[in-house]
Structure 1
Amino acid sequence: MGNTVTRGDFEWVYTDQPHTQRRKEILAKYPEIKTLMGPDHQLKWIVLGMVFAQLVACHLVRELPWKWVLFWAYAFGGCVNHSLTLAIHDISHNVAFGNRQAKWNRWFAVLANLPIGMPYSASFKKYHIDHHRYLGGDTLDVDIPTDFEGWFFCTPFRKFLWLVLQPLFYTLRPLYVNPKPISRMEVCNAAVQFSADFALYYTWGLKPIVYLLSGSVFCLGFHPISGHFIAEHYMFSRGYETYSYYGPLNFLTFNVGYHTEHHDFPSIPGSKLPMVTQMASEFYDRLPQHQSWTHVLWDFIFEEELGPYSRIKRKCLLVNKS
């Protein structure tokens, strides 16, 4: 990627994100890819099954010793909850019911949110659109760490701590970098979530609540599945800002590993992204990719040149912002 300038320790660029041009080139050569766009009719049933599985798990853990509540939160419940956050990611692109049923997608995301324990889906939707529209945009893309994060979390131990605290940074960073007014949907999301939490506590006590919340914190922090947070956009190869991973953990994460393909075609459901890779393989085979999310975490912690500063940032014009 040309026209780069170092400012601080981020890689600053003054070019457009690569996904826009690649999308045009791929569609010009393979217009049939447009047939993959649209809803994934299986997604809602998978999500409902996962929500039901967590309800059953809450019933089962209510009388376990605390150490086993926390064990199962990390080993099982947190994995399901992390997967649900990625289902919400897919739903935020209206792939559960289609673009014509946007409200159905919003409310279904609230349902998928319930096992996570804290309201998440409405706020995620609000900021995730900016992540796609202004990838790496200064003060616009809240996926980019702050200067403090890049400056302070620079040693192996501090980077490990930063990974553990990822849920905290993802929650607080938008409030500092790009605060937005609270929407009516966020209020509804919170009201539904806290009502469900109270009903669960009233019915089965505190342990199911701890099981859900601790699982979310554990598996959105330092966990093999959470390797995708680092693998997606941290610059492991100079000049490349988005990376894909084609390994088996995609089965648990709604193919979020196909991340370059997702940014090229955000309206294509995760379940169909492997078809994009197959149909336009010459566009993706030549790009750097990751083989293991666990290895990504290891390299991120112990490679001196990697850290929260290892991101591409750009100045973006506020066009068509809604």
Structure 2
Amino acid sequence: MPIAVPLIAQCLVMFALMGIGLALCRLGLVSDTGTKELGAILLNVVFPVVIIRSFWGHFTPENLSVLGITFIGATAALMVAMAVARLAFPHDGVAEFSAAFSNAGFIGIPLVEATLGSEAVFYITCFIAELNVLQWTYGKWRISGSTDSIKPASVLMSPMLIGFAIGVILFLFQVPIPEVIGDLMGSIAQLNSPLAMIVLGAYLAKSSPGALFGTARTWMTALVRLVAVPAATIAVLATIPAAGSVKLAIFIAAAAPTGSNVAVFCQQLDRDTQAASNAVCLSTLLSVATLPVMAGVAGLVL
């Protein structure tokens, strides 16, 4: 079955979940504080558990080899994304960050899990770890224009990076999974997709339609993130000798819409937060159409 078919179905489900989040926020049933707290649960608990679960108990010599391949593929995909974004927006750090870094956590993980299976999350763990490091270093530098904003402690304390490190240790040392722990992680992991999409829907509710759809800069940023970067990613992944499912998983994570961290960093660094939020929201809406199309092309090439 072509990858685009299940991806379309999953995008529609996610779009419906986003609609629920938007409605809850507009109706006043979920406050800004509630949205932030739900986002904190995702970032600090659910996502790290999903990553740890993808490693724990899956050690085989083949998977060890695959881990090395996914690191190479993730590095190549991220480098090409940053290069394309830099060429498109050489003097606009906010737009460059928005175009370069995808929402591999909120959208990439649920999509990979739904279309390729829960075991495929293992294929994008290196991508997520590298993405977090690059956002907190290169990304913050491009937004602020100064290296003063980069704090190594913040990078090392990223929940995603900690989850990745724990997962790798458990993977390499082949630590057995107690049944009760396995059941607990499975229950937490099931929160991933619905909670992430509901939170994204609540974010969408904060943007006015006029601001969201009326800016040429926002459309250009979305075009680069959703079309130019995925096209370049397909080209670079095609040169890497790996199984098609591995490359497709990395591609889906790389082709996801703009990551929400750009708005967080802009708020911290006193930059254009509204433009960053609009880029996240518009690219998320458009990705419902672009992701299946680009994934269909990737399925044929990779």
Do both proteins adopt the same fold according to a TM-score greater than 0.5, normalized to the shorter chain? no
Higher RCO, 1 vs 2 (CA within 8 Å, ≥6 residues apart) = 2
Superposition TM-score, scaled by structure 1 size: 0.28
Q: Decide which structure has greater helix share.
A: 2
Q: Decide which structure has greater strand share.
A: 1
Greater Rg over alpha carbons, structure:
1
